[in-house]
Amino acid sequence: MEYFLQLFFSGLSRGSVYALIALGYTMVYGIIELINFAHGEIYMIGAFMGLIVAGVLTAMGWPVLSILVIAIIVSVLYSAAYGYTVEKIAYKPLRGAPRLAPLISAIGMSILLQNYIMLAQTPDFLPFPRLIPDLDFMERFSMFLGTSDLFIIVTSLVVMVALTLFIKFTRMGKAMRATAQNRKMAMLVGVNVDQVISATFVIGSSLAAVGGVLIATHVGQINFVIGFLAGIKAFTAAVLGGIGSIPGAVLGGLVLGWTESFATGYVSSDYEDVFAFCLLVLILIFRPAGLLGKQRAQKV
C-alpha cells in the first residue's frame, strides 16, 4: 500500500507539471484550433528569463523568496511579449489560410526560437537555483511530496480555477468563448477578434512562463531543448482531457502523470510512454473528444 501511495504521489507531482504547461496550451488551442508547437518554446524562454533575473538578483544578494516573485513577474511579462510577437509574426498573417499552414509556421518558429536561445545563451545545461525554500511542515511528507511539488500542484489548481472564472465571467472571457464557438459570428456581434486572439496568446504565454520558472526551479536545470518534450507532453495532456477544456487540461495532465508513474512502478519505465499513448488511444476510442471535452453533434 505504501508503495502504491508513493507511486500515486510521484504521478501527482509529475502530472501537475504536465497540467501546468497544458493549461496555456489548451487555452490557445480552444480559441484558434492551432496546435501551437511554439508553446513549449515560450515555456523554455520563460525559464531562461527566470534564470537571468535570478542570476542578476542573486549576484546582488537579494533574499530567495523575493527573487522567486520578481523572476516570475519579469518572466511573465517578457514571455507574454514573446507570445504576442510570435502570434503577430507567424500566425496572424495566416488567418484564413489552409488549416495546416499555421502548424508549419509554428514548427518553424519552434526551430527558430530554440536555435536563438542556443546561440544567444549556451547549448549546455545551466543550473537553475532553488528558489522555493523547503517548508517545515512538509518535512513529514518528504517521502511522498516535496515543497516544490506542492507549490506546483497548488499553482496549477489556482490557475485552473482563476482561468475558469475568467472565462466564465469577464467580458474578455465571454468574447473568447464567442470567438471559440464561431469566429465569424463573433465578429458580426462586435467582438474584436484580433484583440481576443492576442489576449489569448498573452495569457497562454504568461502561464507558460509561470510554469517555466516553477518547473525549472523544481528540476534544477534548464537548456534550450526543454520546451520540446514539455510541449509534446502538454499537448497529450490537453487532448486527453478534452482540448479546449480548462479543467480537462489539469485532469489530463494528472491522468498522464499517474499512468506513467504506475507503468514505471508496476511494469517498467522502459515503456512508460508506450503505456501513456496506449491509454490515450483507448480513451479517445471511447470518448473521441477527450475526458472532459464536449461531444459535439455533427450537423449535416
Partner 1 sequence: MKAKWFSTVLAVAMAGMLSMGCAGEKKEEKKAEAPAPAAKKVLVLGVAGAQSGDLASYGLPSVNAAKLVAKDLNAKGGVNGMQVEVLPMDDQCKPELATNAATKLVSEKVGIVLGHICSGATKAALPIYKDAKIILMSPSATSTELTQSGSYPNFFRTISYDLIQGKAAAEFAVTELKVKKVAVIHDKGDYGKGFAESAKKALEDGKAAKVVLFEGITPGGVDYSAVIQKIKSTGADCVLFGGYHPEASKIVTQMHKKGLKIAFVSDDGVKDDTFIKTAGADAEGVYATGPQILADNEVYKKALADHEKEFGSKPGAFFPQAYAASQALLNAVAKAGSTDYDKVVAALQNEYIETPVGKIKFDAKGDAEGVSFSVYQVKNGKYELVK
Partner 2 sequence: MAAENIFAHVKRALIAAVWLAFLTAPIMVIRVDTVEKTVTWRWMHLAYMAAGSFLLALVWYIMLERRDRGKANKDAEGNVKESALARGFADPKLVKPMLAFGFVAAVAFPWIFSMYQTNILVSALIYVVLGLGLNITVGLAGLLDLGYVAFYAVGAYTYALLNHHFDLGFWTVLPMGAIMGAFFGLLLGFPVLRLRGDYLAIVTLGFGQIIRLVLENWSDFSFGPSGIANIDRPGLFGIPYSVEQATTYIYYIMLGLVMLTIFVTARLKDSRIGRAWLALREDEIACQAMGIDNTRAKLMAFALGATLASLMGVVFAAKTTFVNPASFTFMESAMILAIVVLGGMGSVVGVILGAFLLMLLPEYMRAFSEYRMLLFGATMIVIMVFMPKGLVRAKRKIYKINAETAG
Provide the minimum distance between the beta carbon of 209 and partner 1 in the complex, in angstroms, as a whole number: 16
Burial of 254 (0-12, 13-18, 19+ CB in 10 A): buried
Q: What angle do CA 10, 290, 170 make, to 5 degrees?
A: 90
> Closer CB to partner 1, residue 210 or residue 292?
210
Partner whose binding site includes residue 103, from partner 1, partner 2, none (CB under 5 to 8 Å by kind): partner 2
Binding site residues, partner 1, CB under 8 A: 3, 6-7, 9-11, 13-14, 17, 85, 88-90, 92-93, 112, 115-116, 118-120, 122-127, 130, 142-143, 146, 215, 218-221, 223, 225-226, 228-230, 257, 260-262, 264-265, 268-270, 272-273
* In the complex, minimum distance from the CB of residue 273 to partner 2, in angstroms, rounded to a whole number: 6
Q: Which does 284 bind (CB under 5 to 8 A by kind): partner 2, partner 1, none?
A: partner 2
Closest to partner 1 by CB, 241 vs 257, is 257
164 makes contact, choosing from partner 2, partner 1, none, with CB < 5 to 8 Å by partner type, with none
Q: How far is the CB of 84 from partner 1 (least distance, A)?
A: 11
The one of partner 2, partner 1, none whose footprint includes residue 6, by CB under 5 to 8 A per kind, is partner 1
What b/e string do you get for 131-148 counting C-beta neighbours within 10 Å, with b at 16 or more?
bbeeeeebeeeeebbbbb
Q: Which does 82 bind (CB under 5 to 8 A by kind): partner 1, partner 2, none?
A: partner 2
The CB-of-291 to partner 2 minimum distance in angstroms stands at: 12
State the minimum distance, in angstroms, from the CB of residue 285 to partner 2: 6
Closer of 73 and 273 to partner 1 (Cβ): 273
Nearer to partner 2, 175 or 234 (CB): 234
